[in-house]
């Protein structure tokens, strides 16, 4: 009987981007600055929404949840990488790797679901402005966010339980800066076919389903905008959704780009570098996209930071859409 070199792992090694000691300070400084910018930007968005009574509406409720999820997403991966660089260590415990994988998958799923919910909010605001406050009642938008959390927790729990059944060989090196689900599964010694099947099924069902919902919502929005007679009205309607459309394009564009490119080019280090786009760059840019395109957010941020800005009521209708 042939003995297999398998064991219950006590730790993994995160190889990161480069093992060159001269590049480590540069990588550390770059990621620390990006992480602090992400946390500060999204935290300011949350505080501005909480502190301004004019922003206590469904669309800003969804936006504050998205900002919170983005903070959690980056906090799941970047701090551990920064600690490893400072301690000159690549190790992460087995339990730590599973926990990191769980929370990263959880918050990526939440990002996905929240963007779909926000697209539905845009659709109601543009296509049914007179019934917006009736349709998007407090009960409904709280239930929508709660459903996002429940779905994300359930699908992440399923992935994690299936990873726990796998066995790993010794000297496991992960060519990434965090424990990403697909990378961990590929390094297992045992049969990973059930894991791959579940990953592709859930990605197609939930990921593809939410993307299809977003595209459908925007197809209806385009039809509603096309029906507006005045050019000024069309521009106003479209501009109110430009921020969300930009965030959706950035999130799905980088996410699909990473996985499509990794399928063509079998280079783990290139995939790790490309993953920075949707794990850190996208959450970092989201506050800038929303604050630069939205006068209400800019006014609330001005008041939060103590700057004199004119106060005025937020109107309904198209202004209900970011």
The pLDDT value recorded for residue 8 is 53
Average pLDDT value over all residues in the chain: 84
Where do the structural domains in the chain lie, given as residue ranges? Answer: 9-320
Annotation: CATH topology of 9-320: Rhopdopsin 7-helix transmembrane proteins (1.20.1070)
> Given a cut of 80, is residue 197 above it in pLDDT?
yes
3-7, 135-139, 234-238, 275-279: segment of lowest average pLDDT: 3-7
The pLDDT value recorded for residue 268 is 59
27-41, 43-57, 183-197, 294-308: segment of lowest average pLDDT: 294-308
> Given a cut of 50, is residue 141 above it in pLDDT?
yes
What is the pLDDT confidence band of residue 307, given thresholds at 50, 70 and 90?
Answer: low
Task: Give the whole-angstrom CA distance, residue 213 versus residue 218.
Answer: 9
Task: Give the whole-angstrom CA distance, residue 50 versus residue 144.
Answer: 19
- Summarised one tens digit per residue, pLDDT across range 211-262 is 999 999 999 999 998 888 887 777 777 777 888 888 898 888 877 776 666 5
- Summarised one tens digit per residue, pLDDT across range 14-68 is 887 767 778 889 989 999 999 999 999 999 999 999 998 888 999 999 999 999 9
> Given a cut of 70, is residue 2 above it in pLDDT?
no
The pLDDT value recorded for residue 316 is 37
Tokens coding 128: 């049914």
What is the pLDDT confidence band of residue 9, given thresholds at 50, 70 and 90?
Answer: low
Task: Give the whole-angstrom CA distance, residue 111 versus residue 313.
Answer: 30
Question: Three-state SS across the chain?
Answer: CCCCCEECCCEEEECCCCCCCCCHHHHHHHHHHHHHHHHHHHHHHHHHHHHCHHHCCHHHHHHHHHHHHHHHHHHHHHHHHHHHHHHCCCEEEHHHHHHHHHHHHHHHHHHHHHHHHHHHHHHHHHHCHHHHHHHCCHHHHHHHHHHHHHHHHHHHHHHHHHHHCCCEECCCEECCCCCCHHHHHHCECCCCHHHHHHHHHHHHHHHHHHHHHHHHHHHHHHHHHHCCCCHHHHHHHHHCCHHHHHHHHHHHHHHHHHHHHHHHCCCHHHHHHHHHHHHHHHHHHHHHHHHHHCHHHHHHHHHHCCCCCCCCCCCCHHHHCC
The pLDDT value recorded for residue 317 is 41
The pLDDT value recorded for residue 230 is 81
Backbone phi, then psi, for 236, in 5-degree steps? -65, -40
CB-based contact 232:212 (threshold 8 Å): no
The pLDDT value recorded for residue 296 is 81
The pLDDT value recorded for residue 155 is 95
pLDDT greater at residue 116 or residue 294: 116
Task: Give the whole-angstrom CA distance, residue 28 versus residue 17.
Answer: 11
Closest CA to 175 of 272, 300, 281: 272
The pLDDT value recorded for residue 267 is 61
């Amino acid at each position: 009987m042939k003995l297999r070199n398998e064991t219950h792992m006590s730790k993994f090694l995160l190889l990161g981007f480069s093992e060159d000691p001269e590049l480590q300070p540069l990588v550390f400084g770059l990621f620390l600055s990006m992480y602090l910018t992400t946390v500060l930007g999204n935290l300011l968005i949350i505080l501005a929404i909480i502190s301004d009574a004019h922003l206590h509406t469904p669309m800003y409720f969804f936006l504050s949840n998205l900002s919170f999820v983005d903070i959690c997403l980056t906090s799941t991966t970047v701090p551990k990488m920064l600690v490893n660089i400072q301690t000159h260590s690549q190790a992460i415990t087995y339990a730590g790797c599973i926990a990191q994988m769980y929370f990263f998958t959880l918050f990526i799923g939440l990002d996905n679901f929240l963007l779909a919910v926000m697209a539905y909010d845009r659709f109601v605001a543009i296509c049914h402005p007179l019934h917006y406050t009736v349709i998007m009642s407090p009960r409904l938008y709280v239930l929508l966010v709660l459903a996002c959390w429940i779905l994300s927790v359930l699908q992440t729990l399923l992935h994690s339980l299936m990873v726990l059944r796998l066995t790993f060989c010794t000297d496991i090196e992960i060519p990434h800066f965090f424990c990403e689900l697909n990378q961990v599964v590929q390094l297992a010694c045992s049969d990973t076919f059930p894991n791959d099947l579940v990953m592709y099924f859930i990605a197609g069902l939930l990921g593809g389903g939410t993307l299809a919902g977003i595209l459908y919502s925007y197809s209806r929005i385009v039809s509603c905008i096309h029906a507006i007679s005045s050019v000024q009205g069309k521009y106003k309607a479209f501009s109110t959704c430009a921020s969300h459309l930009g965030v959706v394009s950035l999130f799905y564009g980088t996410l699909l780009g990473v996985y499509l490119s990794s399928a063509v080019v079998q280079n783990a280090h290139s995939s790790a570098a490309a993953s920075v786009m949707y794990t850190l760059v996208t959450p970092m840019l989201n506050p800038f996209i929303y604050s630069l395109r939205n006068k209400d957010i800019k006014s609330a941020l001005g008041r939060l930071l103590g700057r004199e800005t004119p106060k005025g009521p937020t109107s309904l209708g198209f202004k209900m859409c970011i």
